[in-house]
Amino acid sequence: MFELSAEHEMFRAAVRDFAESEIRPHSAQWDQEHRFPVEIVPKMGEMGLFGLTAPEEFGGADGDFLSLCVAIEELGRVDQSIGITLSAGVGLGINPILSFGTAEQKERWLPALVAGRQLAAFGLTEPGAGSDAGGTRTRARRENGEWVINGSKSFITNSGTSITSVVTVTARTGEQPDGSPEISAILMPAGTPGFTVDPAYHKLGWHASDTHGLTFDDCRVPAENLVGEQGAGFRQFLQILDDGRVAISALALGLAQACLELATEYAKTRVAFGRPIGANQGVAFQVADLAVAVEAARALTYKAAWLKDERDAGRRSAKELSQAAAIAKLYSTEAAVTATRTVTQILGGNGFMEEFPAARYYRDAKILEIGEGTSEIQRMVIARGLGLPR
């Protein structure tokens, strides 16, 4: 059911060629310099990667979500930082505007985002509100036809580049009848007075990905910058996160595939005690386990991506997608973390050296189990989907 079409395979080959020629030769340097390579974004735009799921009227391909996941997988196989740049650029940058924005908002922002001339970000996480998104403390109040926003956000991808044009910010805009916070989403253009992009984080991994905290001090934006209905922000970002979890699963799949390829090649060529180390069952079985994990992660990821497309077509439910997204994200990210440990162990001392990509793989992997909902959150979603009591 989830076998890729000939068109998907041709697309995969094109993205892989792009990743091998335009990204792999520079990945180690970008990582060492902790530099976001802004110059690669327009090239990705020319490939059509940011517009895969966008309508043709905005310059997109009007394609399926599975194609986007294939692209993220192939970029992530070579460089996780570039993979997350695409994943966040589409899933968290373009998707809120495309899914919930007005016609005017789409016309203003989407063409440049789809073309890769600009990037957008999604400001959800805060110092005291990550997995507990309902704990949002950023506030927005209506005043003289404007929203006045105060607060801060943490760990926001693509938020501080030289081509970042807008951030969709979640904020408390009141209270629900039951006393819970009313959350709304509001577009915050770059350069808005009072909008400060904090210094870049010094991260364990994803060194070539752009990540900042954001601060809002009496930021004023027009009332029409509201995305969707007032108070619909919580429902909106739950949908966005479901889609994003599938994309992160694809990113993790790419990393696991890279580990499998590196481990296999090393086990064939590294000689110890007069024969390749892959001739030893202790190594061969580890590589075999990696192959099993990659195939399982691929099946779960592609199924979830297919369900996303089916949900959008009205043929499958949001509940089905939520469950499949959580399962795929949980399995694939934990498999990727295990894969990086395995390949590092197989490479031995070389695995600990930055001259080999295993070290970068190892550092990049851990965030996969945290971003877009931790592994613990995924287990909660899965358990609730099974009907277990809260």
What average pLDDT does the structure give for the chain? 96
Q: Say yes or no: 381 and 248 in one domain.
A: yes
Q: Say yes or no: 129 and 21 in one domain.
A: no
In a domain, 390, yes or no: no
- Of residues 301, 303, 328, the one with CA closest to residue 382: 328
Q: Say yes or no: 240 and 376 in one domain.
A: yes
Q: Say yes or no: 22 and 54 in one domain.
A: yes
Distance (Å, rounded) from C-alpha 358 to C-alpha 374?
A: 23
* 167 vs 241 pLDDT, higher one: 167
Residues 6 or more apart whose Cβ sits within 8 Å of residue 206 = 80, 81, 84, 364, 367
Q: Say yes or no: 93 and 134 in one domain.
A: no
Of 168, 197, 230, at which residue does a domain stop? 230
CATH number, domain containing residue 181 = 2.40.110.10
Q: Say yes or no: 313 and 219 in one domain.
A: no
Instruction: Say what the pLDDT of residue 198 is.
Output: 98
Please pick, among 73, 126, 369, 372, the residue that the annotation labels catalytic. 372
Q: Say yes or no: 238 and 381 in one domain.
A: yes
211-234 confidence digits (pLDDT tens): 999 999 999 999 999 999 999 998
In a domain, 156, yes or no: yes
CB count in 10 Å sphere of residue 225: 23
In a domain, 207, yes or no: yes
Q: What average pLDDT does range 232-250 have in this prediction?
A: 94
Distance (Å, rounded) from C-alpha 170 to C-alpha 240?
A: 12
- Complete DSSP assignment for 264-280: HHHHHH-EETTEEGGGS
Of 230, 248, 266, at which residue does a domain stop? 230
In a domain, 166, yes or no: yes
Q: What average pLDDT does range 328-336 have in this prediction?
A: 98
Q: 3-class DSSP state for residue 30?
A: helix
Q: Say yes or no: 110 and 129 in one domain.
A: no
- Of residues 302, 284, 282, the one with CA closest to residue 294: 302
- Of residues 148, 21, 46, 38, the one with CA closest to residue 85: 38
In a domain, 19, yes or no: yes
Per the structure, the complete domain to which residue 356 belongs is given by 234-385
Instruction: Say what the pLDDT of residue 197 is.
Output: 98
CA dihedral of residues 24, 28, 31, 35 (deg, nearest 10): -70
Q: At which residue do the structure tokens 């979830």 appear?
A: 304
CB count in 10 Å sphere of residue 25: 10
Instruction: Say what the pLDDT of residue 365 is.
Output: 98
Q: What average pLDDT does range 174-194 have in this prediction?
A: 94
Instruction: Say what the pLDDT of residue 69 is.
Output: 98
Residues 6 or more apart whose Cβ sits within 8 Å of residue 108 = none
Q: Which two tokens stand for residue 267?
A: 């086990």
Instruction: Say what the pLDDT of residue 129 is.
Output: 84
- Of residues 342, 343, 372, 367, the one with CA closest to residue 357: 343
Q: Say yes or no: 165 and 103 in one domain.
A: no
Q: Are 361 and 258 in contact (CB under 8 A)?
A: yes
Answer yes or no: is pLDDT of 2 > 70: no
Residues 6 or more apart whose Cβ sits within 8 Å of residue 122 = 88, 92, 93, 96, 156, 167, 168, 237, 240
Query: What's the pLDDT band for 50 if we cut at 50, 70, 90?
Result: very high
Q: Say yes or no: 65 and 137 in one domain.
A: no
Instruction: Say what the pLDDT of residue 138 is.
Output: 97
Instruction: Say what the pLDDT of residue 368 is.
Output: 98
Residues 6 or more apart whose Cβ sits within 8 Å of residue 269 = 276
Query: What's the pLDDT band for 1 if we cut at 50, 70, 90?
Result: low
Distance (Å, rounded) from C-alpha 335 to C-alpha 317?
A: 27
Instruction: Say what the pLDDT of residue 293 is.
Output: 98
Of 230, 256, 271, at which residue does a domain stop? 230
22-46 confidence digits (pLDDT tens): 999 999 999 999 999 999 999 999 9
Query: What's the pLDDT band for 132 if we cut at 50, 70, 90?
Result: confident
Q: Are 32 and 359 in contact (CB under 8 A)?
A: no
Distance (Å, rounded) from C-alpha 356 to C-alpha 20?
A: 16
Q: Is the pTM of this model over 0.95?
A: yes
In a domain, 148, yes or no: yes
Distance (Å, rounded) from C-alpha 390 to C-alpha 102?
A: 36
Q: What's the full length of the chain, in residues?
A: 390
Q: How many domains does the chain have?
A: 3
Q: Which residues are bridge partners to 121 per DSSP?
A: 167
Q: Are 335 and 296 in contact (CB under 8 A)?
A: yes
Q: Which two tokens stand for residue 312?
A: 């959008």
Query: What's the pLDDT band for 179 if we cut at 50, 70, 90?
Result: confident
In a domain, 31, yes or no: yes
Radius of gyration of the chain (CA): 21
Q: Say yes or no: 110 and 193 in one domain.
A: no
CATH number, domain containing residue 316 = 1.20.140.10
Q: Are 380 and 386 in contact (CB under 8 A)?
A: no
Q: Is 7 a catalytic residue?
A: no
268-320 confidence digits (pLDDT tens): 999 999 999 999 999 999 999 999 999 999 999 999 999 999 999 999 999 99
Query: What's the pLDDT band for 185 if we cut at 50, 70, 90?
Result: very high
In a domain, 311, yes or no: yes
Chain center to CA of 231: 25
Distance (Å, rounded) from C-alpha 351 to C-alpha 361?
A: 10
Q: Which residues are bridge partners to 271 per DSSP?
A: 276
Chain center to CA of 155: 12
Q: Say yes or no: 179 and 111 in one domain.
A: no
Answer yes or no: is pLDDT of 134 > 80: no
CATH number, domain containing residue 56 = 1.10.540.10
Q: Output the CA torsion sign for 362, 255, 319, 134.
A: positive
